[in-house]
Structure 1
């Protein structure tokens, strides 16, 4: 699940923590960080350092990878959208996203044009986001064509809000790179802070939810990851922009 190089970075205490996690995967994937700390008799700081030493952005990202491992190894786990959404909402209520949403809103209110972009399922959320933000007083447009001509006043003095679950979609990255080269500021809404899209952004908002897909009759993978976190974030962002401009 994690590389030998990652494991070599662990201290003796962290190795004990790793052993506990591996032996109790089905339990740990639904634990909060404080619950794991109490169960293993370590501090939350130790757990966060442990996650980062394993190449994860934090505890939420670590649990996502743990769930993926459990699924791939046919370990029995309740890996459905409802649990993932409930976990995301719990983090949201604790204010985990507030700081980055405020940063993004502060950026948006200082620019004339707001562009929402997304490909595939993310495109539907981008279209809704543009309409919702416009209804709250900050006009926004939706671009779902990666070859849309980006000229004139549309791009000048603009902020682009880019939505992508993986943050690695070729068409989205091509469009973002072009917008960035023309001076547009980038706000990304993705599943992982470590994605390419997040790294290209001026402000990155990541929601960390278990990704889901299935193999259809044509032997192609179809992404069925919930878009509820992205929907929640675009609404929260639009409301924060409205609060700042009113």
Structure 2
């Protein structure tokens, strides 16, 4: 359930329904459609559109299929946070998602320079992504300072891999605008395809995890981002070694 192609097709309001379901998985089974709509801060019509995009004729059919899906999750993966990740790995196994990974790997393989860009927690993961890709044989660097200078000419033809959970970080968007002026290809890893950074990018890899913000920061899991970065690194390594990507 929740195939990559289906989740990718959701609009902003429908994503609110999806995120609410991911955060309250068992609870949703006991909720009426109006209760789910109120909890997601959307209309019942939006909930019905969401159900239709999930391949269901209505809310009742959705609940039946959703219950079957939850029962199929392995016993060791019964906690809600584990279920969310299991669902991501299920989506990431789709043909469309793997085609996007291949496209990104090809861009990186032919790039003169590869720069990973992010701030805060995403900056830390950007540093890991640059090191992992360098380990694969393609040298990369990272920028975790949004005010890092972008001199004309130096980054021409580079691939910029930008990491942002929200896809709406102002400093990152301003940095991206500088790179775009120098004919850089932009690849983003973000939580939603409808975000501003996603729309600024040439290729967007999305993972659709429930947002978990707290008083002192963002606790949204970065596990899918690490997974995506490692998959890209391995695919680039295969290209460098002239090994066919399966």
Residue number in structure 2 paired with 1:73: 39
The 2-side partners of 1:143 and 1:119 are apart by 8
Could you tell me how far apart the structure 2 residues matched to 1:123 and 1:82 are?
A: 25
Distance 1:67 1:81 in 2: 9
Residues of 2 paired with 1:228 and 1:143: CA distance? 20
CA 1:234 to 1:61, structure 2 compared with 1: closer, same or farther past 3 Å? farther
Return closer, same or farther for 1:170/1:33 CA change in 2, 3 Å cut-off.
closer
Alpha-carbon spacing, 1:115–1:235, altered in 2? closer, same or farther (3 Å): same
Tell me if 1:233 matches 2:228.
Answer: yes
CA shift, 1:67, in A, is 4.2
Pairs within 5 Å for 1:154-233 = 154-216=154-216, 222-233=217-228
Residue of structure 2 equivalent to 1:144: 144
SS in 1 for 2:194: coil
* Partner deviation per Cα, 1:189-210 (whole Å, 9 max, x = no partner): 1111111111111111111111
Q: CA deviation at 1:165?
A: 0.6
Computed over aligned residues only, the root mean square deviation of the Cα atoms, in angstroms, reads 3.1
The whole-number CA distance in structure 1 between the counterparts of 2:37 and 2:138 is 42
Superposed, 1:1-246 pairs within 5 Å as 32-33=1-2, 55=11, 63-64=18-19, 66-67=21-22, 73=39, 80-151=80-151, 154-216=154-216, 222-246=217-241
Once residues 152 and 124 of structure 1 are traced to their aligned partners in structure 2, the CA distance between those partners, rounded to angstroms, is: 26
1:46-75 deviations in Å (ceiling 9; x for gaps): xx59x95x73598x885225446969839x
Deviation for aligned residue 1:94: 3.7
TM-score normalised to structure 1 length: 0.69
Gaps of 5+ in 1: 1-31, 35-44, 217-221
The CA distance in 1 between the partners of 2:154 and 2:127, in whole Å, is 16
The secondary structure found in structure 1 opposite 2:128 is helix
Q: The residue matched to 2:204 in structure 1 has which SS?
A: strand
Report the 3-state secondary structure (helix = DSSP H, G, I; strand = E; otherwise coil) of the residue aligned with 1:73: helix
> 1:93: how far off?
2.9
